[in-house]
């Protein structure tokens, strides 16, 4: 089945767009920056057409301003100018193929391009670097984030009383899952794309090693393997999960456990790109993809993962065992 993008109203804020007022993301042209600030004010007040017009003026003065171009495309999209927005997002991709602001995902959300199997690594790294400082407060205190506790509970049901020789926390972030895993593991490693997140995790002194990089580049431990691999709220930033499961299988021997969470999609599609620019996956797709890589599902649970803008986000949690 083909992936698709769900497309409700375009007013929902998009991930991966840093605030234009931040010094790191300004254009370098004072007048362009001022017009961008006015554009943000108009957008906040609901006048998206005026916001888009002001951003077009800002871009005339600062044509090399990549973030400004992406923000212009977002205002156009929110104003209902999908064709114009698509053209602007394509210009952003031509300007920087690394796509640090997720222009390709935003094109997919407009229906202007197929849903990619994964976002660009620079987009994901930038997204989490942006949120690193307030990440835990936002997730735990304001969004009622439950994944680490839910995943730990499911793992305890699947392997009661188990202690793990070596565990790998994929997309470890600030170490929220690591805090739960540490008492269960003789060795705990983590990997994440975001240097900012890793800096927060490092301060907790939970992990034996922390690696900066793509989870598909995670190596086996020296002279061994991982008998536990976890991915808590990480796979929501990837579409096709078959490469992830296949790579996890290379890190584990028979009997190794894989525990992860995804956002829930119905069975009509394998995975969908949600308006939040996160992916959701159908449980049947997850089971099939796991089986392809030699995993059998031990336990599966449907749970609310967190809240987002007042909405309960439904998810699937799975513990699987390597055959």
Domain boundaries, the chain: 4-116, 135-322
**Under CATH, what is the fold of the domain 135-322?**
Rossmann fold (3.40.50)
Can you tell me the distance from the alpha carbon of 180 to that of 177, in angstroms, rounded to the nearest whole number? 5
Note the pLDDT of residue 135. 64
Structure tokens at 97: 């193929």
Q: How far is CA 216 from the centre of its chain?
A: 14
> Can you give the pLDDT of all 323 residues of the chain as single tens digits?
556 665 433 333 344 455 554 445 688 899 999 999 999 999 999 999 999 999 999 999 999 999 999 999 999 999 999 999 999 999 999 999 999 999 999 999 999 999 999 999 888 888 888 766 766 666 666 678 899 999 999 999 999 999 999 999 999 999 999 999 999 999 999 999 999 999 999 999 999 999 999 999 999 998 899 999 999 999 999 999 999 999 999 999 999 999 999 999 998 789 999 988 999 999 999 999 999 999 999 999 999 998 887 789 999 999 999 99
Residue among 64, 83, 63 at smallest CA distance from 73 = 83
Contact at 8 Å (CB) between 20 and 71?
A: yes
Task: Evaluate if pTM is beyond 0.95.
Answer: no
Instruction: Count CB-CB contacts under 10 A for residue 119.
Output: 23
| Helices 48-61 + 66-78 axis angle, to 10 | 160
**Under CATH, what is the fold of the domain 4-116?**
1.25.40
Structure tokens at 290: 């796991």
Q: Which residues make beta-bridge pairs with 257?
A: 228, 321
Nearest-10 Cα torsion for 302, 306, 310, 311: -30
Note the pLDDT of residue 13. 38
| Residues sharing a CB contact under 8 Å with residue 181, sequence separation 6 or more, in sequence order | 152, 164, 167, 169, 188, 228, 230
CB-count exposure of residue 107 (10 Å: 0-12, 13-18, 19+)? buried
Topology alike, domains 4-116 and 135-322: no
């Amino acid at each position: 089945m083909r992936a698709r993008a769900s497309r409700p109203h375009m007013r929902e804020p998009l991930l991966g767009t840093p605030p234009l007022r931040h010094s790191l993301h300004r254009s370098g042209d004072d007048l362009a920056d001022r017009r961008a600030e006015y554009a943000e004010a108009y957008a906040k007040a609901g006048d998206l057409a005026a916001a888009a017009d002001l951003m077009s003026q800002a871009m005339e003065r600062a044509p090399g301003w990549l973030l400004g171009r992406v923000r212009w495309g977002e205002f156009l999209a929110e104003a209902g100018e999908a064709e114009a927005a698509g053209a602007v997002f394509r210009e952003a991709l031509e300007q920087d193929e690394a796509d640090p602001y997720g222009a390709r995902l935003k094109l997919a959300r407009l229906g202007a391009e197929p849903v990619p199997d994964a976002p660009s690594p620079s987009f994901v790294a930038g997204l989490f670097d942006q949120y690193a400082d307030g990440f835990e407060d936002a997730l735990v205190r304001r969004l009622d984030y439950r994944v680490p506790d839910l995943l730990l509970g499911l793992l305890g049901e699947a392997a009661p009383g188990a202690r793990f020789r070596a565990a790998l926390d994929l997309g470890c972030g600030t170490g929220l899952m690591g805090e739960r895993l540490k008492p269960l593991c003789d060795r705990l490693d983590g990997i994440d794309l975001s240097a900012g997140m890793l800096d927060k995790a490092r301060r907790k002194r939970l992990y034996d090693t922390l690696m900066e990089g793509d989870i598909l580049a995670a190596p086996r431990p020296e002279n061994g393997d991982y008998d536990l691999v976890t991915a808590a709220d990480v796979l929501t930033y990837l579409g096709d999960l078959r490469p992830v499961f296949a790579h996890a299988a290379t890190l584990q021997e028979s009997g190794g456990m894989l525990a992860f969470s995804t956002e829930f999609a119905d069975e009509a599609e394998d995975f969908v790109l949600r308006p939040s620019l996160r992916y959701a996956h159908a449980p049947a797709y997850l089971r099939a993809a796991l089986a392809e890589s030699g995993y059998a599902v031990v336990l599966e649970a449907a749970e609310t993962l967190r809240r987002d803008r007042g909405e309960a986000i439904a998810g699937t949690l799975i513990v699987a065992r390597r055959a």
